[in-house]
Structure 1
Amino acid sequence: MNVKTTEKISAGTVGRFVLLALALVNQALTITGHSPIPVDEEGVQQFISLAFTGVASLWAYWKDNKVTKKARTKGE
C-alpha cells in the first residue's frame, strides 16, 4: 500500500518568507524614494558592528569547538 504523507510547513519556513516579504517591501519603498527606516551614518555603523558580532557569535556557537582535553581525545 502506497501511503503518501505530507509534512507541515515549519515555523522557520514561515519566518523566512515573512522576513523576505518585509525586505522586498522595504526595497520597493527605498526605490520609490521613501525612507522606511530612517537612520544616520552612525546608526549604520552601529548596525554593521552589531551584525558582525552576531554572525561571529552564531558561527562560533554552531561549530563543534572542542576545547577540553577530553573532547579532543579520539577513541573515548
Structure 2
Amino acid sequence: MDKGTIIRTVALVIAWANMALTNYGLQPIPVVSEDFIAMILAGAVTVWTWFKNNYITWKGKQQKEVLQKNYLTK
C-alpha cells in the first residue's frame, strides 16, 4: 500500500466513525464539532476515496488498460 491509500483510508474511517457516533448521540472524535460539517466531511472523504481508488476518469481507464495488457491486474 502506498502512503496516499493509507491516508485516504484513515480519513474515511474517521469521517464515518464521527458520523456513526453523532447518530447514536455519543461524543464524536474532536476533528469536527458540528453535525453538518461532519456530514459534509464524510461525503467528501467518501467521494475522494472512491474516485482515487477506481478507474473512472479517462486517464484512469487508460492506466487500467496498460495494467491489463501487462498482466498486472485482472
Q: With the length of structure 2 as denominator, give the TM-score of the two structures.
A: 0.37
**Higher Rg of the two aligned structures:** 1
Larger relative contact order (C-alpha < 8 A, sep ≥ 6)?
2
Structure ranking higher in helix proportion: 2
